[in-house]
């Protein structure tokens, strides 16, 4: 596994048979993990990566090398960037090599329908000549946890998207059968697709249908209720582009962390990671796009991606 990790850092192609081995080993680990993984402190929380491999290298330079530091990635490893295959394989390889130092939860792009439409499927075809690697990775997607709890009681609930009107407690999340394609509706879908909105005019209604076509928009009241029922103090999530890399809402009860700088090689945004220490203090570390990503942005790389943002 050390050899695979080094090859990925050097930009080398990983043969299909090796991909099969990595995916098989990863599934063996992930199937034993709970829907909500309990993660000790200190830990660094990372938002969307979206196939921006060289920015993932910068992320590790910013947050500290693995396994020296413990990491939690909040999903959306693939699609839109040009190196989704290498990005996902590197994270899986690190998970297999250091299972107690790397944690991965599922994003809305870790699904067959979405990854077939926004880049990952086509990238697998281009790099391997068939869809076998894509199918193997999709099987791994089905084993990824739906959330995490940092620090135990009074800690941080982590999820890719947000809350669900059908979920009041974390025990209800633990009962979900996650080993499936992401449904189009229901609590599992909501966890991966929903978004908070500050100051939204709900007209005394706590939830509103999302314009994404899946999940909900929710305000401060559901966040407060979730904290009270589950003895948590912060919800850390990803899923939405944040120009400054992170954004706290509802008097610091929720934060969005975004870790793909200059998203889609054109947005010009910063990226960030969030470190939670043993005393549950928060430290945000902001970083810019790598030189490699800037090269794509200036037109020296491949053709630009389609205009579409989630």
Q: Could you give the residue numbers annotated as active site? A: 109
HSE-up of 171 (CA within 13 Å, CB side)? 3
CA distances (Å), 126 to each of 23, 83, 93, 119, 187, in order?
A: 20, 11, 22, 11, 35
Q: CA nearest 160: which of 36, 53, 76, 255?
A: 76
Q: CA nearest 291: which of 246, 259, 261, 258?
A: 261
Contact 69, 99 (CB under 8 A): no
308: left (phi over 0), alpha (psi -120 to 50) or beta: beta
- Give buried/exposed letters for 156-173 (b at 16+ CB in 10 A, else e): bbbbbbbbbeebeebeeb
Strand 71-73 versus strand 102-104 pairing type: parallel
271 strand-pairing partners:
287
Q: If DSSP codes are grouped into helix, strand and coil, which group holds residue 102?
A: strand
């Amino acid at each position: 596994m050390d050899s695979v990790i080094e090859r990925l850092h050097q930009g080398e192609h990983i043969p299909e048979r090796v991909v099969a081995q990595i995916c098989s080993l990863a599934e063996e680990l992930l199937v034993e993990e709970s829907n909500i993984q309990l993660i000790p402190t200190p830990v660094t929380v990372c938002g969307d990566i979206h196939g921006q491999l060289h920015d993932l290298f910068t992320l590790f330079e910013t947050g500290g090398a693995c396994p020296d530091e413990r990491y939690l990635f909040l999903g959306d490893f693939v699609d839109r960037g040009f190196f989704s295959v290498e990005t996902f394989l590197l994270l899986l390889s690190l998970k297999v090599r250091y299972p107690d130092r790397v944690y991965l939860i599922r994003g809305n792009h870790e699904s067959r329908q979405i990854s077939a439409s926004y880049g990952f499927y086509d990238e697998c075809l281009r790099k391997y000549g068939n869809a076998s690697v894509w199918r193997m990775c999709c099987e791994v997607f089905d084993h990824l946890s739906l959330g995490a709890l940092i620090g135990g009681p009074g800690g941080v609930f982590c999820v890719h998207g947000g809350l669900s009107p059908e979920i009041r407690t974390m025990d209800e999340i633990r009962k979900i059968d996650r080993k499936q394609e992401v449904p189009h509706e229901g609590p599992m879908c909501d966890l991966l697709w929903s978004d908070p909105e500050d100051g939204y005019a709900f007209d005394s209604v706590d939830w509103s249908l999302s314009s994404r076509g899946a999940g909900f928009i929710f305000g401060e009241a559901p966040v407060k209720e979730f904290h009270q029922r589950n003895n948590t103090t912060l919800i850390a999530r990803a899923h939405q582009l944040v120009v400054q890399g992170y954004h706290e809402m509802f008097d610091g009860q929720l934060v969005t962390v975004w870790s793909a700088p200059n998203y889609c090689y054109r947005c010009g945004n910063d990226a960030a990671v969030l470190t939670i220490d043993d005393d549950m203090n928060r430290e945000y570390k902001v970083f810019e796009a790598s030189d490699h990503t800037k090269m794509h942005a200036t037109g020296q790389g491949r053709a630009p991606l389609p205009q579409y943002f989630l």
